[in-house]
Every structure is written in C-alpha cells, then in structure tokens.
Amino acid sequence: MPNDTPAERNKTPINNILNSILPETGSVLEIASGNGTHVVFFAEHFPHLTWQPSDPDAGARKCANGKIKLSGLQNVREPLNLDVQGSLWPETSFSALICINMVHISPWESTTALFKRAGSTLVRGSPLFLYGPYIQTEVPTAPTNLAFDESLKQRNPLWGLRNVHEMSLEAAKYGFLLENVIEMPANNLSILFRLP
C-alpha cells in the first residue's frame, strides 16, 4: 500500500531529527530524492527553507515533480538530474544537505564523492545528514541488518551497509566532523556530520 512504504514510515521520525539540526533560513539539497515523498513532507514542515531535490533516475524525478506540483508548495524546486559521482553538481551553495537510504545501495565511491562534493557545496557550519542502516564497530548489528547486508551484496557486490567509523574517517578528509549518531526505528541510524 502507498502509505506503508519505507519513505512513508520514516518521514516523521526523520523530520523530528531535522527539526533540531536544520538552519532557520537558506536552502537544502537532497541527494537521491527518489519519488519525492520526503522532500514534499519536509518542505511542508520547513516552509522557511528552499528545498532542492535531486535524483539520477528520470522516472524518479518525474514522479517527484508530479508530487511537488500536486502539493502546491512554492519552496521546492524542480528535481535535478544529479549523480553523486558525476560532475553536474549545482554551482550554488547550500545551507544543509540530506541523503536518505542511498549509501548502502551504491558503491563506496559514491559515499566518497558525496563527502567530497558536499565539502565544496555547503557553506561553513552546515549539517550533512544521512539516514539508513549502518554498522557501528562497538555496537552489535541487528540480525535483520546483517541479513539485509548479505542480500544487498548478492544483488551487487559493491553495495552493502557501511561502517560509521570508516565513514567518519572518509568525511574528515573533506573537512567534516561526525557530530552525532542517533538510533532510529527499524534498526536505522541518523548520522549528523558538520562542516565547521
């Protein structure tokens, strides 16, 4: 059912976290927006911010654009054709960047590219927010997440759940500090990096 998708289930818990980390004004770049469920919901709850969705998939962008138009919201731009490993990133600066459920279904090079490009796209002091299933070195991984990790790797050997510590080391190369890791429903994490 449409109301029982992962995006529908996690949009409110994510929104609650964003409420404490997003800036008062400015613009937010969303990477891998998919069908637009999140960006429309967030734009409704943060009308003082301008939202820029993006996705490399044309079908996803079309679906997201339809939802944006149907919502009547004026603070959401048309989705960009953006692949994190590509060169066509926006030339403008953003006040925040969010990326939900992308890291584990993309190669490690995409995570590296995300930090690298975000480092030159975000203004100083900006948050970079990630959400999804991750592995923490000193925290037991839920059996469901281990099974999910294995299924991802069977689908594509370059996919899989990433280790938060390894991600923080990679992020540091591009100026980001790991600020917070927050446990979320369904064994997911919200991870907050910031560009000081």
Going by pLDDT thresholds of 50, 70 and 90, the confidence category of residue 60 is: very high
The number of domains in the chain is 1
117 CB contacts (<8 Å, ≥6 apart)?
A: 84, 89
Instruction: Summarize pLDDT for 125-149 with one digit per residue, the tens.
Output: 999 999 999 999 989 999 999 999 9
Angle between helices 58-71 and 37-45 (to 10 degrees): 30
Q: What is the pTM of this model?
A: 0.95
Q: What is the CATH classification number for the domain harbouring 167?
A: 3.40.50.150
* Enclosing domain of residue 85: 2-194
Going by pLDDT thresholds of 50, 70 and 90, the confidence category of residue 91 is: confident
For the cut 50, the answer to whether the pLDDT of residue 107 exceeds it is yes
For the cut 90, the answer to whether the pLDDT of residue 183 exceeds it is yes
CA 168 from centre of chain: 15
The mean pLDDT of 92-117, rounded to a whole number, is 97
The mean pLDDT of 62-75, rounded to a whole number, is 97
Going by pLDDT thresholds of 50, 70 and 90, the confidence category of residue 3 is: low
10 Å CB burial of residue 166 (0-12, 13-18, 19+) is middle
pLDDT given for residue 108 in this prediction: 97
SS3 content of the chain, % helix, strand, coil (to 5): 45, 20, 35
For residue 177, the number of C-alpha atoms closer than 13 Å in the C-beta half-sphere is 7
What is the overall mean pLDDT for the chain? 95
Q: Which of 122, 130, 76, 120 is nearest to 98 (CA)?
A: 130
pLDDT given for residue 1 in this prediction: 37
The mean pLDDT of 73-95, rounded to a whole number, is 94
For the cut 50, the answer to whether the pLDDT of residue 97 exceeds it is yes
Q: Which of 97, 103, 134 is nearest to 119 (CA)?
A: 97
Percent of the chain, pLDDT > 70? 98
Going by pLDDT thresholds of 50, 70 and 90, the confidence category of residue 32 is: very high
For the cut 80, the answer to whether the pLDDT of residue 154 exceeds it is yes
